[in-house]
Chains A and B, each alone.
Chain A
Amino acid sequence: MASRKLSSEIFDFFASVRLTVALLLTLAATSVVGTVIPQNQDPAAYFHTFGLNLYRLLATLGMFDMYHSWWFQFLLTLLTVNIVVCSMDRLPGVWKMIAVKPVFRLSRFHNSPHHQQIAVNTPFEQIQTDALKLLSKNVGNVHTEKIPDGVCIWGETGRWTRIGVYAVHLSVILLLAGGLIGSFWGFDGTANIAEGDTISSVLLNGSTKQIPLGFQVRCDKFSVQHYDSGTPSEYRSTLTILEQGKPVLTRDILVNDPLRYRGINFFQSSYGTLPPQHLTLTFTSRASGMEYRKKIEPGQTLDIPENLGTFMVTAFHQDYRYMGTPIGSAFTGMLTPPKGTPVEVVLPLRFPKFDKMRQGNVVIGIAEAEQRFYTGLQITRDPGVWVVYTGFLLMITGCIIAFFMSHQQMCIEIHPGEASCEILIHGIANKNRFAIRKKMDGLAERLLQTPTPPAHA
């Protein structure tokens, strides 16, 4: 007996809406933490911010990846259990209510809080047919019942809408299940592919693990388009899928327009430039105004004509900052005049005349640099996404049903009198009291408006 009682207490605890309120508030409060402490950063950065002791404490509590920490997952599990147990508790009753057509009992209508009382001087038979017609427009299937001193017309609609809330609750479970499926059987990685190169595996984010794709992906071309103002308007990669070395599919991807192949998705996520392989420079002598073109390779030293010194290309920079201003990708080189100290020369790819600013004896510019891009792809597989999307649809439909529809029962009670008929309108709704009141007002108004036939003289 005692254990029976304990187990039913446990069941009640998990079925209670109080627990739901507590859980939802706790989830809201704890979620704030992860937005205040930046998540998944380098441990060194945390160490620097928090100091040793606080760092240790926070790390133990999983605060640096808190949405995946054991206690946050535990809260989500509790919520799931809460929903399941609560549904087990209520669903059978609701199911019965939906499956079984209610029987007519006038007292039930009399006990409801919604009533309207009017008097009309339409004859009894006519008001009866009018009411029947009117009510069947409102609730469909209508029945007439005899009562001691008159007649009752009643009907109901929307019994099935009682399931709406359960659809919402099921949708929450689907979202959590879909997330779980994704974290077990999906992956999330990135790959940088230079134009012309091919990859066959992907590096997982936040780890050093490589996952084989089972096919190859080649980047044929990458391009950036700009608006007139210079801000980027489009990133486009042309990708080719190869199976055993044979191309099977070529497609362009854009941001917001990924490629999906054999359950794996390729998203445009970043790009960069690679050092140009062939470089041609111009050297313009200030004294003579002559311009000389020379091919050069990084690391190679070159004699400048007119005895203006030597020049060596030292490095290529992806994003060069000149006095703090970003100027895009650039080469730097070392110019050694015949006399005097070597100076560093910056050669941005985008501004060929940049070096004029230095006002040296020789102006160095880039005549030709064949630039190569690489495209940065986000590569994911998530078999749970369709479960999640189903949950999305179910949640929207369920909310619409739960919020804006209701099970309505209406009854028009007619008592014939001497000069006029007394009419009582009752309504029962499982929710949305405004809607049923409004319907009843409408019914009353229409019944009052029915034209009175000329009285018999």
Chain B
Amino acid sequence: MNSSGILSVVTFVYGFTAFLYVVSWIFKKPEPGRLATWVAVAGLMGNITGIALRWMESYKLGYGHAPLSNLYESLIFFSGTLTAVYLVIEHKFRNRIIGAFTMPIAFLAIAYASLSPNVNDRIQPLLPALKSNWLIAHVITCFIGYSAFAISFGLSFMYLLKDKDTEGRHSLLDKFPHVAVLDELNHQMVMFGFLFLSVGIITGSVWANSAWGRYWGWDPKETWSLITWFIYATLLHARLARGWHGKRIAYLSIAGFAAVLFTYFGVNLLPGLHSYGAIGQ
């Protein structure tokens, strides 16, 4: 089986994982949750194998490069890091309901990559502008950051649900972590994500400087990553200002993740764009 085949299977494995976490939460049965953890681990192994295989395949085609160079490859990498970061959190905090709010995101990302006709899964040779180690550092750090923000998004969602139900009437929310724990965990994820987003923007900027002679050019993609950064910086400081705990932090985190999605998918919809690395035509 080639890498695309393996990754299609991983898509269904992640879908099944998400399904199990949701079932375990809704029906309050621990068994599907425990199974979900193992299925997620298996999916992650498959995900890593798929990426490694794709790397080798690119060498067989004669233009070997790390599989981090286009939309398909970055989405696959994103699903993997998101699953890995989630599994660490699950292990540390012993709560599987968070999985019901984060694994669906990992599934959607890889499903979009594998199944959408808009996403090309062919291994393509690298354009000259993409031949840089800074690119690899850039993509890896950005997507680790995005994974943390995706989890923070899931946690914010949980926070808002739990926070509404102050009297604890809704039995589906019983097993949710306490709001204070959700808030603290959310903050940890945002800090983790902010660090990696900062390193991502920095490596991108060093790369731009080595390829085009400028470290910042207000290109829409760059600008949107900065907007995302501003939103999470706001969040970090809003916690320090009085009265900004909890709910507003959750809204800011959701806005931040929307900005992440726009940076990644939406920028192509903006007017008057030229792609990175357009040269000599």
Contact = CB atoms under 8 A, between A and B. Distances in A.
Contact of A258 (B210, B237, B272, B277): B210
B88 interface: no
Instruction: Classify chain A's interface size.
Output: 35 or more
B143 interface: no
Contact of B230 (A28, A224, A254): A28
Interface of A: 16-18, 20-21, 24-25, 27-28, 31-32, 34-36, 38-39, 41, 67, 179, 188, 224, 227-229, 231-235, 254-258, 265, 267-272, 319, 376, 378-380, 382, 385, 388-389, 392, 395-396, 399-400, 403-404, 433-434
B188 to A, nearest CB: 7
Given A28-B234, A231-B127, A233-B125, A378 B198 contact: no
Contact of B234 (A21, A67, A399): A21
Interface stretch (B31-39, B45-53, B163-171, B215-223): B215-223
Contacts of B218: 34, 39, 67
A25 to B, nearest CB: 5
A187 to B, nearest CB: 11
Contacts of B214: 188, 380, 382
A254 B128 contact: yes
A256 B135 CA distance: 10
Nearest to A65: B218
B117 interface: no
A39 B274 CA distance: 12
Interface string B172-191: 00000000000010001001
Interface string B248-280: 000000000001000000010011100001011
Instruction: Classify chain B's interface size.
Output: 35 or more
Given A21-B241, A31-B223, A35-B270, A256 B129 contact: yes
Closest 7 CB pairs of A and B: A38-B272, A28-B230, A35-B220, A255-B128, A403-B191, A380-B213, A267-B213
Given A17-B241, A227-B125, 18 more contacts: A21-B238, A24-B230, A32-B227, A67-B218, A224-B280, A231-B127, A232-B127, A233-B125, A257-B210, A258-B213, A267-B211, A271-B280, A319-B281, A376-B280, A389-B206, A396-B198, A396-B202, A399-B194
Contacts of B227: 28, 31-32
B270 A36 contact: yes
B48 to A, nearest CB: 26
